[in-house]
Structure 1
Amino acid sequence: MATPRFLQPTGFHSELKNRINQYFKDRGTSPTGNYKLYTKAVILVASLLFLYVHLVFFTPATWLALVECVLLGGVTAAIGFNIMHDGGHGSFSKKKWLNELAGLSLNVMGANIFMWTTKHNVIHHTYTNIDGVDDDLDARPFLRLCENQKRLGIHRYQHFYFWGAYSMLYIYWIFFTDYVKYFTQKVGDIPLKKMKRSEHISFWAFKVQHFLMFVVVPIYMVGFLPWLVGFLVYGMFTGLVLSIVFQLAHTVEDAHFPVACEQTNKIEDEWAIHQLRTTANFATKNKVVSWLTGGLNFQIEHHLFPKISHVHYPEISKIIKQTCAEYKIPYIEYAKTRTAIASHISHLRYLAKAA
């Protein structure tokens, strides 16, 4: 399908950008990461290395190994949220090479930053919650995430089994969907930009590195069956955490799923208002959730200003919320994580029954 267009921007977006720019100007600070982010990055990378080395080379008792596999999955997701995500958006640092290095953490963990940049930065951030364009909405045939998608018999129970589907995201991503994108050179129906030779080399070199690090070496050190159990526990917990955080941002009861006008192929809102209608925050007062998720519980702030590091979201959220109130534009927010999860389950249950 042809990508839809948005209405011309109004004064709201301009006023919002002016206020955010003034915020950083008044404080004389950069919108990119700071010492808080870099300290967190060191802690997360050191934690991953410790857990990996202890699991693979020191073979702890079974119960402890399983606990450490869960922790390793949580740390992997946290590196994605905090380091890779900011790096991929160019907000980790003012230095380009540091952003690229942070983004490459995704490659080390088995996925690919080139594919992710097109899927996430270009498509998802532009066409959020537009079925047929936003690839994040495509969980078919297992899940129906919006009314525009065809309802299958299996979807009748999706609000029960979605936990299992989400837990397979990471494994499915690194061993299947990356290769589909690579060989078709598309994300859904949208072509990737032409890959350079260095990007082809990077794709395969990091895939081999990941296979050696997370498959070959562990099997050699602990045996096939212990590796298989450990890897499944690790990979499924990673996938569950990644899925839940991203789904709470867009597939909840209050979020919209716009459809372009058939005659004009236009969305009824300008881009900034579209982001506010399709995106939700959750648990923004919870500092532990904010720290672990890399500020992705401030999803509204991230979608409106993706080049601002997540360490600034708590402060700029006050400006955005106030501006939305003045312009009478909705600002979707759930006070707690469990409230957002309940809303997501209700959304899935509604789609399970609705024709």
Structure 2
Amino acid sequence: MATPKFAQTAQSFHTELKKRISLYFEEKGAAMTGNLTLYSKAAILLVAFIGVYVHLVFFTPVTWLAVLECVLLGGIVAAIGFNVMHDGAHGSFSKYKWINGLAAFSLNVLGGSSFMWNVKHNVIHHAYTNVDGVDDDIDIQPWMRMSSTQKKYRLHKYQHLYFWFLYSLLYIMWIFVLDYTKYFTSRIGSMPLKKMKLWDHVNFWFFKVLNLFLYVGLPIYMLGFVDWLIGFVIFTTFAGFVLSIVFQLAHTVEHTSFPVPDENSGRLEDEWAIHQLKTTANFATNNKLVCWLVGGLNFQIEHHLFPKISHVHYPAISKIIRKACEEYGIPYIEYAKTRYAIASHVSFLKQMGRA
């Protein structure tokens, strides 16, 4: 489909928001990027990842401990993705470009491709959130129906039951299938992939080989095939489910919308900022543990409106955004607890499967 265009208004809500947020940082005298809190968290996660990986591969703990450590490793990988890679990819981890590059590169070490992620997430998803045919995040066809504009199959009637299993496959599919599909087709869904330079090709293949060595070859050599396979399945399925559910709770719940461009003009109804507010939801923003683990992605509204601001500032700027929404009569979608958001997601899937 042709790339949609956003409505233009004389008095932009986004302009007013940017003015208020800029004033907040000026008054605080703080940078919009990460701070010591973020860097300390990144160090903790990095040390934890290396420690658990080394203990699993080189010291072979007893079975019950190995299983727990595989689950823990999956959680750490997801947390690094949320807290380090995500901020780095958006240029909000540090004020230094090279540090942001290193943070974003953590995805390559974990098995993904920072190049593919940048195009899929930063360029497409953030611009055209929940627009069917453009936003690749809601394209899980034919296995799941995530929008009323998508074709419905008989199996979708049960998607609210089997999504637990399907989401668990995300990480392993990401590593072994999805990145390669994007690479060889030069497309992300219906959108063309940005042209890759020689360095991008070398980068892609070097880290894919490194990933196979770190997570497949070396563990099989040290542990044997069966032990590796059991541990790898536990590790990847837990990481996959956590990654999937956090991103889905932000956009595919009962109260978010799925705008459709006008057939003639190709324009969407709202300006970009209002579009983001209508298609995005927050959850568990008062839960400090959730906030720490998911890198502020439970403040998804703040992230979508200001992706260049580090997630450590989201709790503060959320108050400003919420107040502006109240003044302008714009919805601010939020679920008080994670379980409420999950329940809403299940209900949404049920509606999409039966509507």
The interval holding the TM-score normalised by the smaller chain is over 0.9
Structure 2: gaps of 5 or more residues: none
Q: 1:95-123 CA deviation, whole Å, 9 max, x = no partner?
A: 00000000000000000000000000000
1:260 aligns with 2:272: no
Distance 2:329 2:245 in 1: 29
1:68 equivalent in structure 2:
69
Map 1:54-93 → 2, pairs under 5 A: 54-93=55-94
2:219 equivalent in structure 1:
218
Q: Which amino acid aligns with 1:305?
A: F
Q: 1:136-189 CA deviation, whole Å, 9 max, x = no partner?
A: 001111111111111101111110000000000010011001001111111112
Q: Mean alpha-carbon deviation: is it higher for 4-13 or for 269-278?
A: 4-13
Q: 1:301-329 CA deviation, whole Å, 9 max, x = no partner?
A: 00000000000000000000000000000
1:15 equivalent in structure 2:
16
1:112 aligns with 2:94: no
Distance 2:348 2:235 in 1: 28
Give the fraction of aligned pairs with identical amino acids, expressed as a percent: 64
Distance 2:142 2:49 in 1: 34
TM-score computed with the length of structure 2 as normaliser: 0.99
1:250 equivalent in structure 2:
251
2:30 equivalent in structure 1:
29
Q: Displacement, 1:14?
A: 1.1
Q: Which amino acid aligns with 2:2?
A: A
TM-score computed with the length of structure 1 as normaliser: 0.99
Q: Displacement, 1:11?
A: 3.2
1:142 aligns with 2:123: no
Q: 1:11-64 CA deviation, whole Å, 9 max, x = no partner?
A: 321111000000000011100000000000000000000000000000001111
1:209 aligns with 2:210: yes
Map 1:269-308 → 2, pairs under 5 A: 269-308=270-309
Q: Which amino acid aligns with 1:273?
A: I
Map 1:231-250 → 2, pairs under 5 A: 231-250=232-251
Query: Deviating runs (4+, > 4 A) in structure 1?
Result: none
3-state SS in 1 of match to 2:320: helix
Distance 1:13 1:258 in 2: 18
Distance 1:317 1:59 in 2: 45
1:3 equivalent in structure 2:
3
Instruction: State the number of aligned residues.
Output: 354
Distance 2:248 2:194 in 1: 27
Q: Which amino acid aligns with 1:272?
A: A
Distance 2:146 2:16 in 1: 33
Distance 1:343 1:193 in 2: 35
Q: Aligned-pair RMSD on alpha carbons?
A: 0.6
2:96 equivalent in structure 1:
95
3-state SS in 1 of match to 2:55: helix
Q: 1:194-232 CA deviation, whole Å, 9 max, x = no partner?
A: 111111100000001110000000000000011001000
Distance 1:214 1:13 in 2: 44
Distance 1:171 1:131 in 2: 24
Q: 1:51-87 CA deviation, whole Å, 9 max, x = no partner?
A: 0000000000111101000000000000000000000
